[in-house]
Amino acid sequence: MSDDIDVRVSEHANIRCTVRNSATCNQCGAEVVWVRTPKGKNMMCDPEPDEEQLHSCHWDTCVNKKPKQNRYEPSADHPWRKGYQ
C-alpha cells in the first residue's frame, strides 16, 4: 500500500502524504491509515476523505481523544507552586 493522499493539516494548508499501512485507533477503535509526511514524520489519518476529497488527521476527529498534557507544568503541590519554605 503506497498510495498518495492529500491530508488537511490546518484550515488553510494541505499536504501530500504516502500511505504506509492501515490500523485501528487505540483510543476509539476506528479504522485509520498511517501516512508518512513529506518531512518523514508518521501521522494517523482517517481513511475516508471529506466532501473536499481531503483526509483528516485522526487526532482531530477521534471521539475518545485524551486531553493534551503539558509535561512541563508543575503540579499544584510542587515546591515551585508552594514557594520554598
pTM of this prediction exceeds 0.75: no
- SS3 state at 6: strand
Handedness of CA 40, 45, 47, 52 (dihedral sign): negative
pLDDT tens track for 15-66: 898 898 999 998 899 999 999 988 898 999 999 988 888 888 898 888 887 7
Element containing residue 16 per DSSP (H, E): strand 14-24
Q: Do 16 and 38 touch, CB atoms closer than 8 A? A: yes
